[in-house]
């Protein structure tokens, strides 16, 4: 296997300037024996830059690697980037995407130089865009593959090893629909389900249609079969994904297909929460609003990208709606779902934006009352029509407007969060702690409207259990289940009725608010009569326990129907191409 020294290239961003990978100092220590036992499975690590579509694609990459015999690197090895194969799934939406990638690659080159046999692969939107230019700038990269040929990754890695030469393969059109590929899902209680890929819109600021291609829709039976498979594995929440999710059905001539799909999701036993992202205001119709309101498991949450409040700028962006239509959609959604949390995307500083245009954005944001907003400074992307428009704004003007917009949205978010205080909410506990949960002795989860909630445990749990125990951070010692359970009480055979597991649902009352999260300390209210706290065990919580015990090598997999083993949650799952939905 070739080994390449890190070149001091002017094109490379110094690693210290971009601590994206955040490698510890120990990561650069020598590794005795290179990749280790030749008979041991090669390990892999996938790192994702970008949107939910990229996260979902990364799950497919992991599934294909595991099907090919690779093994996921342990958490400890992943933290040091100690893996035989490191895959970076890239994004190309923002201007700094390229800077992030080459900063990452500069760091990984040092690791590869001391780790015999290590391979680096780059996929995703930036790979589709830059192609062989990635190897030209970073010749230690082994594989470059695009958005249209995810399935080629294992073959390209093996070919690169055999030929001792970089392999670049970029398909111009979709080769295999990603959702038909094997998948290794990170969550046992929630999953992404792609209903379409690509986009037919021509927004002047967006490079995605060029990199992802025209919209391709899956058949409803395939989507529902995947959701049912997820639910059978223990998931209780799914998020439907598409670049323009509510235009689903245009390829096979049914403009009402998305509303029908939402209603069909309501018929799936065991599916408790359905979300979707991202819709386009121009294609958002009343039948979708009705389906949201009338389907109990479709959550009262909507992400509706505004981008700009000025009609003149919307026209320049080729966004085929105007501010009045956008506000009308929000009014109709809130008329049937008064408690819906609505979020958005905003761009500041589009070419030619005047102070009057920006004032219109502030006006529409104020009227929209968004729960939160993903706010971006305009990013000039080569290959997009907006990149060549006149009147590109000075950085300092864009920055000043960005600060003003963020201040307004922060204030609105704080007000909208404050309205939640006193409400009783159901929180789906997530697998992972909030940033301050260790200090506050809380757990973290998502309410039905997708707001982040930090909740307190009853006093008898917080006083007797360490934070690491509850978070699963100290699974110490021994070969017996009891020893593991001592490190993480959520794995114990006799579980405290008030101790939730990831995937369980906890009913609490919101006691405090901040702009972008809620606090529910109702379990600590004086006296049981005042306390609002109840744990509902779920199949997802059971699946989480099964997965954690399997990872620890404890017990055997459960069996269903007497003969067939149920899959270990999180293991790769391969779906066929069903075309007939169950009756």
CATH code: domain of residue 253: 3.80.30.20
Q: Please give the structure tokens belonging to residue 258.
A: 């998305």
Give pLDDT, residue 358: 98
- Plot region of 482 (φ>0 → left; ψ -120 to 50 → alpha; else → beta): alpha
Pair 330, 349 in one domain? yes
Domain assignment of residue 429, yes or no? yes
What SS3 state is found at 234? coil
| Residue where a domain stops, chosen among 122, 138, 169 | 169
Please say whether the beta carbons of 311 and 322 come within 8 A: yes
Pair 326, 192 in one domain? yes
CATH number of 514's domain: 2.40.50.140
The three state secondary structure string of 432-486 is CCCCCHHHHCEEEEECCCCCEEEEECCHHHHCCCCHHHHHCCCCCCCCCHHHHHH
Domain assignment of residue 570, yes or no? no
| 265 annotated ligand binder | no
Q: What span, in angstroms and rounded, lies between the C-alpha atoms of 100 and 91?
A: 10
Counting as low any pLDDT under 50, the low residues of the chain are 1-20, 22-36, 464-465, 467-486, 556-568, 570-583
Q: Please give the structure tokens belonging to residue 400.
A: 């000043």
Pair 205, 164 in one domain? no
Please say whether the beta carbons of 292 and 334 come within 8 A: no
Give pLDDT, residue 129: 85
Domain count for the chain, please give it. Answer: 3
Q: What span, in angstroms and rounded, lies between the C-alpha atoms of 137 and 140?
A: 9
Domain assignment of residue 120, yes or no? yes
| 203 annotated ligand binder | yes
Give pLDDT, residue 528: 60
Q: What span, in angstroms and rounded, lies between the C-alpha atoms of 388 and 204?
A: 10
Q: How many CB atoms lie within 10 A of CB 142?
A: 26
Domain assignment of residue 325, yes or no? yes
What SS3 state is found at 29? coil
Give pLDDT, residue 204: 94
| Residue where a domain stops, chosen among 393, 419, 445 | 419
Cβ neighbors of 142 (< 8 A, separation 6 or more) are 119, 120, 121, 157, 160, 161, 166, 167
Give how far the C-alpha of residue 289 lies from the chain's centroid of Cα atoms, to the nearest Å. Answer: 24
Domain assignment of residue 578, yes or no? no
The secondary element (H helix, E strand) that includes residue 570 is: none
Q: What span, in angstroms and rounded, lies between the C-alpha atoms of 273 and 429?
A: 13
Pair 240, 376 in one domain? yes
Pair 61, 159 in one domain? yes
Domain assignment of residue 470, yes or no? no
Q: What span, in angstroms and rounded, lies between the C-alpha atoms of 7 and 124?
A: 25
Domain assignment of residue 195, yes or no? yes
Give pLDDT, residue 568: 47
Terminal C-alpha separation, the chain: 54
Pair 443, 396 in one domain? no
Give pLDDT, residue 177: 67
Pair 432, 388 in one domain? no
Q: Angle, nearest 10°, between helix axes 257-265 and 220-233?
A: 20
Domain assignment of residue 478, yes or no? no
| Residue where a domain stops, chosen among 169, 194, 217 | 169
Cβ neighbors of 480 (< 8 A, separation 6 or more) are none
Please say whether the beta carbons of 20 and 75 come within 8 A: no
Pair 415, 428 in one domain? no
Give 270's strand partners.
none
Q: How far is CA 370 from CA 290, 333, 339, 365, 516, in A?
A: 21, 13, 12, 7, 11
Q: What is the DSSP string of 170-228?
A: --SS-SS-GGGS-B--S-SSEEEEE-EES-----TT--HHHHH-S-EEPPHHHHHHHHH
Domain coverage including residue 153: 43-169
Pair 262, 402 in one domain? yes
Please say whether the beta carbons of 207 and 384 come within 8 A: yes
**CA dihedral (564, 566, 567, 568) positive or negative:** negative
Helices (H) and strands (E) in the chain, counts: 19, 23
Pair 435, 544 in one domain? yes
Pair 233, 353 in one domain? yes
Pair 154, 239 in one domain? no
């Amino acid at each position: 296997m070739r080994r390449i020294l890190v070149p001091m290239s002017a094109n490379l961003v110094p690693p210290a300037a971009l601590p994206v990978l955040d490698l510890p100092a120990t990561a650069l220590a020598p590794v005795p024996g290179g990749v280790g036992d030749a008979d041991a499975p090669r390990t892999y690590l996938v790192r994702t830059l970008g949107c939910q579509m990229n996260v979902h694609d990364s799950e497919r990459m992991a599934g294909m690697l595991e099907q090919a015999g690779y093994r996921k690197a342990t958490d400890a090895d992943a933290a040091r980037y100690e893996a035989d194969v490191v895959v970076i799934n890239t994004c190309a939406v923002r201007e700094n995407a390229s800077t992030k990638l080459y900063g990452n690659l500069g760091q990984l080159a040092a690791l590869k130089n001391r780790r015999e046999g290590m391979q680096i692969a780059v996929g995703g939107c930036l790979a589709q865009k830059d192609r062989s230019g990635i190897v030209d700038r970073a010749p230690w990269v082994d594989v470059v593959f695009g958005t249209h040929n995810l399935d080629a990754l294992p073959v390209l890695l093996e070919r690169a090893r055999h030929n001792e030469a970089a392999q670049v393969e970029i398909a111009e059109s979709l080769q295999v629909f990603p959702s038909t590929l094997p998948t290794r899902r990170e969550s046992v209680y929630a999953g992404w389900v792609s209903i379409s890929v690509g986009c037919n819109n021509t927004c002047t600021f967006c490079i995605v249609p060029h990199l992802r291609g025209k919209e391709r829709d899956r058949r409803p039976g395939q989507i529902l079969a995947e959701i049912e498979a997820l639910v059978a594995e223990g998931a209780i929440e799914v998020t439907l994904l598409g670049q323009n999710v509510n235009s689903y059905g245009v390829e096979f001539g049914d403009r009402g297909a998305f509303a029908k799909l939402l209603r069909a999701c309501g018929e799936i036993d065991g599916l408790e929460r359905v979300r979707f992202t991202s819709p386009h205001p121009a294609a958002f119709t009343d039948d979708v609003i009705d389906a949201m309101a009338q389907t109990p498991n479709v959550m009262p949450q909507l992400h509706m990208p505004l981008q700009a409040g000025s009609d003149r700028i919307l026209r320049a962006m080729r966004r085929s709606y105007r501010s009045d239509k956008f506000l009308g959609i929000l009014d109709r959604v809130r008329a049937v779902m008064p408690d819906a949390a609505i979020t958005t995307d905003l761009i500041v500083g589009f070419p030619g934006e005047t102070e009057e245009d920006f004032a219109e954005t502030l006006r529409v944001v104020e009227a929209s009352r968004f729960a939160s907003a993903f706010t971006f400074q305009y990013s000039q992307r080569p290959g997009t029509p907006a990149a060549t428009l006149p009147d590109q704004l000075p950085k300092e003007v864009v920055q000043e407007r960005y600060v003003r917009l963020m201040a307004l949205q922060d204030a609105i978010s704080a007000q909208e969060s404050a309205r939640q205080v006193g409400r009783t909410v159901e929180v789906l506990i997530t697998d992972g702690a909030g940033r301050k949960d260790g200090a506050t002795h809380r757990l973290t989860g998502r309410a039905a409207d997708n707001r982040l909630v930090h909740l307190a445990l009853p006093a008898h749990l917080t006083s007797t259990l360490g934070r690491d125990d509850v978070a699963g951070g100290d699974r110490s010692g021994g070969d017996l289940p009891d020893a593991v359970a001592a490190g993480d009480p959520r794995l114990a055979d006799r579980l405290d009725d008030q101790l939730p597991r990831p995937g369980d649902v906890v009913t609490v009352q919101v006691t405090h608010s901040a702009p972008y999260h809620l606090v529910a300390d109702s379990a600590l209210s004086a006296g049981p009569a005042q306390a609002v706290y109840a744990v509902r065990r779920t199949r997802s919580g059971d699946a989480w326990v099964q997965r954690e015990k399997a990872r620890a090598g404890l017990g055997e997999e459960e069996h269903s129907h007497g003969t067939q083993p149920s899959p270990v949650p999180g293991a790769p799952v391969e779906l066929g191409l069903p075309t007939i939905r169950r009756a």
